[in-house]
A and B are shown apart, each in its own frame.
Chain A
Amino acid sequence: MTLSRGMRIVLVIFTVLALVFVYTPLALVVLNSFNTSRAFAWPPTDLTLQWWEAAAASQGARDALWVSLQVAALATLISLVLGTMAGLALQRHRFFGRSSVSLLIILPIALPGIVTGIALNNAFRTIFGWDLGFLTIVVAHATFCIVTVFNNVQARLRRLGGNLEEASMDLGAGTFTTFRLVTFPMLRSALLAGGLLAFGLSFDEIIVTTFTAGAQEQTLPIWIFNNMFRPNQAPVVNVVAAVLVLASAIPIYFAQRLSGSTNEGLTGAR
């Protein structure tokens, strides 16, 4: 009753059109995965299942998927820890330079990926002298994933206020016990939402990864990048992408359920 009927109808139509816009290219991806033409001729003259068979057999794709999952999981874990710490710090204390810290945390994701990529590459190789590999990818990803967790935690803490924690302390619980029994349960759904977003960011990241991954490790986006221009492989890449889109519905759905209403979850801050 808050918006007029006319307005609602306009919004519905718009949303439907927008969804069509969003999903048409993806439908094309799925269609091309059946296209016999290896250079994606349009319209497809013939359909085939050979690419799906090739994809199922592709060791490279499976290895890359596994690496991507591992990297994303580790990066999410690290950013959960660091993001929570930073969120608690900023929300529960007042200190000079608070907004600078805030800015600093946002910086890795606000600056163009290529800048972060070459800066970290330069730092890893020439300053620290590390070899590029699995760990450097994880570190790079964690750097820009911190912000998603941080924002969610901050927003949740802001909404909750400090009263419950004070009460807990007054009743005799120590700092760590309070965190474990009072703060953490309140933060759980925010952490879940932030973590899920961090996972998604890390999983599809290509630009920073290009600069921080070594020769031996391939995340899925790197594998796609390497294989997209090998004509026999391009349709296989389409298959992989199609599978990813469909498969991604599952974790997103679960995240929604676990986080309670959408109010609390994803939209806490992002």
Chain B
Amino acid sequence: MSAILHRRPGLRLGLLLTPPMLWLGVAYLGALGALFITSLWGQNSFTGEIERSWTLDNFRDLFQLEVYRTITFRTLGIAALVTIVDAAVAFPIALYMAKVASPRVQRLLVIAVLMPLWASYLVKAFAWRGMLSEGGLVAWLAVPFGLDSPGYGLTATIITLAYLWLPYMIIPIFAGLERLPDSLLEASSDLGARSGHTMRHVVLPLAFPALVAGSIFTFSLSMGDYIAVRIVGGTNQMLGNVVYDNVGAANNLPFAAAVATIPVVVMLFYLAAVRRTGALDNL
């Protein structure tokens, strides 16, 4: 048996690939396909039964009504800002962990960065709700400086989302920087470059794929999120809320599916663009 497998790499490949592909390729892709087919169907508005008649009504409503455009751009904006904030915060930490910290400190820092992942999402979001409330912790700290807590709204949403996804950004960048040979940095300084220069021209370009890899997570997690914005977002709503509300309100699955195509299309474009940077290897 094993001799046959050895001689026939194709067979080996097939056997190896079939189970995962059977699940992902057929079931998952099929499920996605089924969902998006639903977006082309209509729905009995009162009972919520899906009517299997082909119609483009859902997409027409989606494109024509201004509110959905507003929500889409708001969501994309939030996702982008969250990604930038996370990248800015994660990079120095990751750099410290990878290049400066001693092995023992490095180990402790990895644990310290990963531990918050286990505190439930909801609890962390409510903790921020408490901190940002009137007279809450942030207000306490800000008032002596003449500022005030941003309260609930877009800023709060961005802060909370950035907080929640931070570990997902730190780890890929850390991994990427770890792979950066020290010798490169040494060479750079031997050739006379100052630290800032080395950072800009040696470290950042090489760490870029890792940064992009982390951004895939922060971007997609932000785009689909509907929970954090309900807790700290004040009156704002994001695409995830529209999808969730429509799955709930009158069980309008066709329209929810139509709205859901937006983040999927955005992510597919993003992944395609990102493939060239080699970020997918850095996940």
Using CB atoms and an 8 Å cutoff, list the residues of chain A in contact with chain B: 1-4, 6-8, 10-12, 14-15, 18-19, 21-26, 28-29, 32, 40, 42, 81-83, 85-86, 88-89, 93, 95, 99, 101-115, 118-120, 122-123, 126-127, 142-143, 146-147, 151, 154-155, 169, 174-177, 200, 203-204, 206-207, 220-221, 224-225, 228, 234, 237-238, 240-242, 244-245, 247-249, 252-253, 256, 261-263, 266-270
Q: B55 within 8 Å of A by Cβ?
A: no
Question: Contact at A24–B216, with CB atoms within 8 Å?
Answer: no
25 A-B pairs (CB sep. < 8 Å)? A2-B182, A3-B185, A14-B92, A22-B116, A29-B124, A86-B16, A102-B280, A103-B275, A103-B280, A109-B217, A110-B216, A111-B224, A112-B264, A113-B221, A122-B38, A126-B34, A146-B20, A221-B122, A244-B119, A248-B114, A256-B111, A262-B107, A263-B178, A267-B178, A268-B175
Please report which residues of chain B, range 187-209, place their CB below 8 angstroms from some CB of chain A when the two chains form the complex.
189, 194-196, 198-199
Instruction: Pick the residue among B2, B23, B99, B116 that contacts A2 (CB under 8 A).
Output: B99
Q: Are A175 and B12 in contact (CB under 8 A)?
A: yes
Alpha-carbon distance between A204 and B165 when the two chains are bound, in angstroms: 13
Compute how far the CA of A4 lies from the CA of B119 in the bound complex, rounded to whole angstroms: 37
Interface SS majority for chain A: helix
Give, as a whole number of angstroms, the nearest-CB distance from A33 to chain B. 10
Would A176 and B2 count as touching, CB distance under 8 A? yes
Name the residue in B2, B198, B199, B267 with the highest tally of chain A Cβ atoms < 10 Å from its Cβ. B2
Contact check, B224 vs A113: say whether CB atoms are below 8 A apart: yes
Query: In the complex where A11-B95, A248-B115 touch, is A89 in contact with B17 (Cβ < 8 A)?
Result: yes
Asked if B126 CB lies within 8 Å of chain A CBs, one says: yes
The answer to whether A88 and B117 touch (CB under 8 A), given A14-B96, A221-B122, A263-B178, is: no
B120 at the interface (CB under 8 A from A): yes
Q: Which of A1, A104, A111, A253 makes the CB contact (< 8 A) with B24?
A: A104
Looking across the interface, which residue of chain B has its beta carbon closest to that of A220?
B120
Q: What chain B residues lie within 8 Å of A4 (beta carbons)?
A: 194-195
Known interface pairs A11-B96, A105-B20, A174-B2; A111-B263 also in contact (CB < 8 Å) = yes
| B7 CB to nearest A CB, Å | 10
Please state if A143 and B128 are interface contacts (CB–CB under 8 Å). no
Q: Which residue of A lies closest to B38 (CB)?
A: A122
Please, how many angstroms separate the alpha-carbon atoms of A73 and B267 in the complex?
29
Cβ–Cβ contact A151 & B283, under 8 A: yes
The 3 lowest CB-CB distance pairs between A and B, nearest first, are A112-B224, A174-B2, A123-B31
Q: Complex: how many Å from CA A120 to CA B281?
A: 27
Looking at chain B's contact residues, is the secondary structure mostly helix, strand, loop, or mixed?
A: helix
B27 interfacial contact with A, CB 8 Å:
yes
Asked if B244 is an interface residue, CB under 8 A from chain A, the answer is yes
> Is the C-beta of B46 less than 8 angstroms from some C-beta in chain A?
no
Question: Of the candidates B28, B115, B267, which one forms a contact with A249 in the assembled complex, judged by CB atoms under 8 Å apart?
Answer: B115
Tell me which of B13, B99, B253, B271 contacts A103 (CB under 8 A).
Answer: B271
Give complex CA distance A12, B267 in Å.
35
Neighbour of A169 across the interface among B6, B32, B93, B257, CB < 8 A: B6
Q: Are A245 and B166 in contact (CB under 8 A)?
A: no
CB distance from A125 to the nearest CB of B (A): 11
User: Which residue of B1, B23, B103, B281 contacts A261 across the interface (Cβ within 8 Å)?
Assistant: B103
The answer to whether B17 touches A86 (Cβ under 8 A) is: yes
**What CA separation (Å) do A225 and B1 show in the bound complex?**
51
